[in-house]
Amino acid sequence: MNFKRAVIKVGSALVSPDGKGCSGKYLLSIARFITECRQEGREIILVSSGSVAAGRNLIQHGSPIPSISAKQAMASVGQMQMMANWQRFFDVPCSQLLVTHGDLKDRQRYINIKNTLRTLLANDIIPIVNENDTVAIDELKVGDNDNLAALVALVSEADSLFILSDVDGVFNKDPRSNPDAVMFSEIEHITDEIYQMAGGTTNHLATGGMLTKIQAAEKAVDNGINTYIVNGSRSEVFDSILRKENPGTHFIARNAADKAKKYWLKHTLKSNGQLFLDAGAVNAVVNKGASLLPSGIVALAGKFNAGDSIDLVNADNQQIVAKGICQYNHRDLLKIQGQKSNEIQTILGFCLSKVIVHRDDMVVLVK
């Protein structure tokens, strides 16, 4: 078990074990684990549930099942409590990102989230993500934080996803009523049978249940992200992970994350335009592992939005040398092509990014 960048999802059962406000009971050992990972040079993004549970006691709701507006008010007040609860376990700053499915589906917002996470990690901050429950209506929601964590792992290009809950892993039957239940330590293929087993173990386990955890694992492993379901209520679980042992269920990634991403960029994403590069930019991109700057672009073709895929073409011989995700739409790019990065702000009045195609969002197609 080796990882460089991981998303750690912490369920409500750990943040608010009795469902009445935040508790430090389990967070202390989780935070210690995160701190040790960071000290070893790994990057960590947290996806934390618990805002509704944390705010539950603070909003009067009259009936056992709160109305949507009462729940949204709970999330609003609970989110602050939950963030404050996390922050007290870290010496480094934490940051809050509240997103909805609508944000992750929109190319421009997707790339904004990606850039923000990249910047936060580069500044040694611990990003803490939750769904923006206060504004999200059902159609725009991911709905559960297991699937949200998988999407965050994708947008942040993590290589691993740890889903922490109060169960040890995935069992062939419900371990609470079947003492002979066996835990799978590795799952290579997520079959219908696995889904059926998980379906039987939902109810009072962590919010979302096992089903959403398997869905999340499926999304992640398809994109080269190793996924682990582990018991976050047992501190020895973290010692095992630090010893590179697997204490729960490991869903094995189909491909290495970078290979999966390159495949996706190269084969799955349709290009919506072309940027024509001068010889210096071609050399920088092909031979020096550099990002593409506006100064190296001599012309462009096609209509595209920020976040769309584009071809990088050698202007001298029309050869496609790379493919990547463009940070700007074609209208803005027409204004800044050939200019220095420092001029972007003056020309456009804003600067989304100093590079046009980030190195991490690019696949080089020639040697």
Instruction: Give the nearer residue to ligand GLU in terms of CB position, either 153 or 284.
Output: 153
Closer of 5 and 71 to ligand GLU (Cβ):
71
Binder among 29, 51, 72, 227 for ligand GLU (CB under 6 A) = 51
Is 26:17 a contact under the CB 8 Å cutoff? yes
Question: What number of chain residues touch ligand GLU (CB under 6 A)?
Answer: 14
Q: Write each residue from 79 to 118 as x if it is in contact with ligand GLU (CB under 6 A), else as -, in one continuous string.
A: ----------------------------------------
User: If binding is defined by CB under 6 A, does position 361 make contact with ligand GLU?
Assistant: no
- State the nearest-atom distance from the C-beta of 197 to ligand GLU, in Å: 20
CA pair distance 205, 220, nearest whole angstrom: 22
Q: Reduced to 3 states, what is the DSSP secondary structure of residue 234?
A: coil
Tracing tokens 């059926």 back to the chain, one arrives at 196
Does 308 participate in binding ligand GLU (rule CB under 6 A)?
no
Number of CB atoms found within 10 A of residue 318's CB = 9
296 forms part of the interface with ligand GLU (CB under 6 A)? no
Give the strand pairing for 94-99 and 126-131: parallel
Q: Is 12 in the site for ligand GLU (CB under 6 A)?
A: yes
> 330: which 2 tokens?
């074609």
Compare residues 99 and 310 and give the one whose CB is closer to ligand GLU: 99
Q: Which amino acid is at 88?
A: R
Query: Using an 8 Å Cβ cutoff, are 216 and 146 in contact?
Result: yes
Q: Does 309 bind ligand GLU (CB under 6 A)?
A: no
Instruction: Compare residues 54 and 325 and give the one whose CB is closer to ligand GLU.
Output: 54
Tell me the C-alpha distance between 165 and 7, whole Å: 14
Q: Does residue 21 touch ligand GLU according to CB under 6 A? A: no
Residue 107 or 141: the one with the smaller Cβ distance to ligand GLU is 141
- From residue 291, alpha-carbon distances to 280, 283, 341, 354, 360 in Å are 12, 11, 12, 10, 8
297-301 β-sheet, strand order: 297-301, 271-277, 309-314, 320-325, 362-364
Rounded to the nearest 10 degrees, the angle between the axes of helix 235-242 and helix 27-39 is: 10
Q: How far is the CB of 177 from ligand GLU (least distance, A)?
A: 24
Work out whether 50 is an interface residue with ligand GLU (CB under 6 A).
yes
Q: Does residue 76 touch ligand GLU according to CB under 6 A?
A: no
Q: Which class for 288: exposed (0-12), middle (13-18), buried (19 or more C-beta within 10 A)?
A: exposed
274 binds ligand GLU (CB under 6 A): no
As a whole number of angstroms, the distance between CA 360 and CA 341 comes to 18
Residue positions counted in the chain? 367
Q: Give me the least distance between CB of 164 and ligand GLU, in Å please.
A: 12
Of 229 and 315, CB closest to ligand GLU: 229
Instruction: Report the site for ligand GLU in 181-240 (rule: CB under 6 A).
Output: 207-208
**Contact status: 133 vs ligand GLU (CB under 6 A):** yes
One of 44, 52, 260, 313 touching ligand GLU (CB under 6 A): 52
Residues that bind ligand GLU (CB under 6 A): 11-12, 49-53, 130-131, 133, 144-145, 207-208
